[in-house]
Amino acid sequence: MRNLRRDLPASLVVFLVAVPLSLGIAFASGAPIMAGLIGAVVGGIVTGLMAGSPLQVSGPAAGLTVVVAGLVQQFGWETMCVITACAGVVQLLLGMFKVARGTLIIAPAVVHGMLAGIGISIALAQIHVVLGGDPQSSPVTNLLTIPKQLGLINPSAAILGFLTIAILIIWKKLPFKALKMIPGPLVAVAVGTLVSILAGLNVTRVDLPEKFELTNLVLPTDWNAFAVAVLTVAIIASIESLLCAVATDKLHSGARSDLDKELRAQGAGNLVSGLLGGLPITGVIVRSSANIIAGGVSRWSAVFHGIWILIFALFLGTVIEQIPLAVLAGLLVHVGVNLVNLHHIRELRTHNEAPIYFATVLGVTCINLLAGVGLGLALSVFFALRRLSLTDIKVDERHGKYHVLIEGTLTFACVPKLNAALSTIPPGHNVDVDLAVDFVDHAAFESLHGWRENHEKTGAHVDIDETHEEWYKPATQGHPRRGKTLKRTVKALI
């Protein structure tokens, strides 16, 4: 608590960022509006107190919006709360078994593609609300029905929605640092709401229950679908939280994140949020970066931001009821578009992983989230295997003696290429093999060694020179290199 002087002001800034985002995400998820605030309170207080990432702030996140909206339609809100609680239990178990770092092995192209697909889906759905209509059942349908919705536009809703989007865009570009300390989402929602009240616009507004009641949890009837839903929420929430923790660590010079502890904290938060009728929570980079920029130095800034949201929800509900749904939709369109990060696309292009990204985006938007992620993972494995087969093999003949240069990584994937190259050498000719590789797996060794034995039976001599570290010679002597094999295999894959 010695850092209270810095954490308290930071918590107020994060509180101002979190409230409009939590309301908007609840609306986009098809959940009760209060569920967003419950998730934000739990993410701040429960997850904050247990956090393994000292400056990460948790709460409802846009990355789960599409998943939650689909599950609410499939199971209903009461069962969705059970799914959230059970997902929390799964996260607790994953944290106890210390598998947090293992989840980070998923290719960044898949993760960024998933978030971009979710962002596009959110934007396409909420643009209908901005225009005064209702979202359709799928992103593709939402895209195709925009022209029809333009013909049925509600001018008042459209003015408020586009005003909100314009404020969010302009606010980032303001040259005044003092003004930038006020969160853009708060300004946009406040201005949009004031305009609607002062102009007397007849638009649909947030509807809150007269009194807060705990959600009556309902168990599912289809347990197989329920299990898939629990694992989906748990895995996506875990990946998003852990990636956020890693990103948050890059923004400050303080203590690093304990990812397994953070995963347990996220699990506890989702367990409590689900039982109280709140949305699933994850680490949120927008709130975490706001926390760091505002001067937060410990987990107490996250805890206090949760307390401020609790006070706001208990005593200022009438303020929330004045917010037009079109304003929240405008906020969500902006959030969704920002999930398509052009910087990430440029980075992926330099690593030749853009096809994985775009395949994931198309899968998420045109089929569903699981199909998109599965397609992205399959492509990433294909590209990894392809890289393993990109070994450079050159065969030259000089005065009746052959010279073979092998560069790269020699694995099972390039055995056909190796066999084809070696088969061009006529029997009885001496061969010098320069093995300039960083790794040789068993299949490649067997292929090369078998060819050498057969070639030497024709009266020729084969000399194998290992330019870098020795892999071939220890294998021929029955002394496999221990300890580094798995590490080098993984390194070769990535």
Q: How many CB atoms lie within 10 A of CB 189?
A: 25
Task: Encode pLDDT of 191-233 as tens digits.
Answer: 999 999 999 999 989 887 767 777 889 999 999 999 999 999 9
Do 303 and 430 sit in the same domain of this protein?
no
**The pLDDT value given to residue 92:** 97
Task: Encode pLDDT of 300-339 as tens digits.
Answer: 999 999 999 999 988 887 888 899 999 999 999 998 898 8
Provide the pairing of β-strand 401-410 with 431-440.
parallel
Do 256 and 228 sit in the same domain of this protein?
yes
Percent of the chain predicted with pLDDT > 90? 56
Task: Encode pLDDT of 413-438 as tens digits.
Answer: 888 899 999 999 999 999 999 998 88
Strands (E), 176-327: 282-283
Q: Which range, 31-45, 105-119, 371-385, is most confident? A: 31-45
Q: Which range has the worst mean pLDDT, 13-17, 80-84, 220-224, 250-254?
A: 250-254
Listed residues 343, 363, 382: the one ending a domain = 382
CB under 8 Å to 206, separation ≥6 — which residues? 23, 27, 33, 320, 321, 322, 323, 324, 325, 328
Q: How far is the C-alpha of 246 from the C-alpha of 240, rounded, in Å?
A: 10
Do 350 and 408 sit in the same domain of this protein?
no
Q: Does 444 score more than 80 pLDDT?
A: yes
Listed residues 382, 399, 423: the one ending a domain = 382
Q: Mean per-residue pLDDT for 358-386?
A: 89
Do 367 and 408 sit in the same domain of this protein?
no
Do 104 and 138 sit in the same domain of this protein?
yes
Strand order in the sheet with 401-410: 392-398, 401-410, 431-440, 462-466
Question: How far apart, in Å, are the Cα atoms of 227 and each of 219, 221, 230, 232, 413?
Answer: 12, 11, 5, 9, 36
**The pLDDT value given to residue 477:** 60
**What residues make up the domain containing 419?**
390-493
Listed residues 366, 382, 398: the one ending a domain = 382
pTM of the prediction?
A: 0.77
**The pLDDT value given to residue 427:** 93
Q: How many CB atoms lie within 10 A of CB 284?
A: 30
Give yes or no for a contact between 34 and 49, defined as CB atoms under 8 angstroms apart. no
Average pLDDT, the chain: 88
**The pLDDT value given to residue 152:** 92
**The pLDDT value given to residue 473:** 64
Strands (E), 441-479: 462-466
CA torsion 210-194-20-79 (nearest 10°) is 30
Do 421 and 284 sit in the same domain of this protein?
no
Q: Which range has the worst mean pLDDT, 112-121, 184-193, 243-252?
A: 243-252
CATH code, 471: 3.30.750.24
Q: Does 90 score more than 90 pLDDT?
A: yes
Task: Encode pLDDT of 250-272 as tens digits.
Answer: 888 888 899 999 999 999 999 99
Do 183 and 109 sit in the same domain of this protein?
yes
Q: How far is the C-alpha of 430 from the C-alpha of 464, rounded, in Å?
A: 11
Q: Which tokens go with 226?
A: 């329920």
Give yes or no for a contact between 282 and 237, defined as CB atoms under 8 angstroms apart. yes
Do 408 and 335 sit in the same domain of this protein?
no
Do 427 and 292 sit in the same domain of this protein?
no
Q: Which range has the worst mean pLDDT, 16-25, 35-44, 198-207, 465-474?
A: 465-474
Q: Does 488 score more than 60 pLDDT?
A: no
Do 115 and 214 sit in the same domain of this protein?
yes
Task: Encode pLDDT of 122-155 as tens digits.
Answer: 999 999 999 999 988 889 999 999 999 999 999 9
Number of domains in the chain: 2
**The pLDDT value given to residue 491:** 44
Q: Does 472 score more than 70 pLDDT?
A: no
Q: Mean per-residue pLDDT for 20-35?
A: 92
Do 192 and 327 sit in the same domain of this protein?
yes
Q: Does 487 score more than 60 pLDDT?
A: no
Give yes or no for a contact between 284 and 59, defined as CB atoms under 8 angstroms apart. yes
Do 181 and 74 sit in the same domain of this protein?
yes
- Where does the pLDDT of residue 237 fall: very low under 50, low under 70, confident under 90, or very high at 90 and above? very high
**The pLDDT value given to residue 485:** 46
Percent of the chain predicted with pLDDT > 70? 93
